[in-house]
Amino acid sequence: MPDNKPVAVVTGASRGAGRGIAIALGSHGCIVYVTGRSEKPGDAPLPGTIYETAEAVTTAGGIGVAVRVDHGIDGDVEALFELVKREHGKLDILVNNACALHDELTAPGNFWEKPPEIVDMLDVGLRSSYIASYHAAPLMVGQRYALMVFTSASGSVHYVYGPVYGAHKAGMDKFAADMAVELRDYNVAALSLWMGALKTERLQLVIDSNPEKYGHIADRTETPEFSGHVIWALYRDPELLELSGQTVIGAEMALKYGIQDAGGRQPLSCRDSHQVAPRVQYPFIIR
């Protein structure tokens, strides 16, 4: 495991999960490239910019580097990793988190009653994670130790918000499983991380839209930083390669590594709260 300052890329880090993960990695001394499209207040309906996140990363103890990237444009993504290569020549941690989430995704109704644009999360979300991994892999395999993470959730194995959401989560899990097969010989791990309900501005809007229906979620949320601390512990685990290819539950990894959320809270695993678990990837391989 390298001892020099780790270099990380966290996609979609203007706000929400990406922002929290980036700040947490910064608190562990990482150089964190923060990507997203929001450069100034008003660029998006929700607050948060890449520069604000990068500053928070630096304040936390790391080095935050803001890079405007539209993850729907392959050239932007390629340029990002060329920048990382020029400045550091390596990449230790990639967190694939960017996702195009439309407000209508959580609106009432069946899939045919919602705008078709919600399927965009299979472009900026699923496809974009593949493209980021494609450009990141050459930087990771050369150093013989690195971690590629796909942020996901239990909606990959049960109904949540409709088929688009589920397809995205299931795809993230499968990307981790299959990329791990090809990365293993290079000592690079790929994992999908199931996060719980995150205490973000977006979730708060959902709760506020129907407190009677969603109010109970507020007491079961995780902070976005929680996932970042779990990712750091995974990266530092000398047995990381034994986990590679798996979908892991953040709350369970936190127990394994002795991590608590803000205020000393220990988030509950969806295995207990929802009676669900990640699908098992069979070892049969055709290459």
Q: Is 165 a catalytic residue?
A: yes
Distance CA 63, CA 84 (A): 13
Helices (H) and strands (E) in the chain, counts: 11, 7
Residues 126 and 172 sit within 8 Å (Cβ to Cβ)? yes
Distance CA 175, CA 195 (A): 17
**51-56 long-range Cβ contacts below 8 angstroms, 24+ apart:** 52/14, 53/13, 53/14, 53/15, 53/18, 53/19, 53/22, 53/23, 54/22, 56/19, 56/22, 56/23, 56/26
Radius of gyration for the chain, computed over Cα atoms and rounded to the nearest angstrom? 18
Catalytic residue among 130, 165, 235, 282: 165
Active site residues: 165
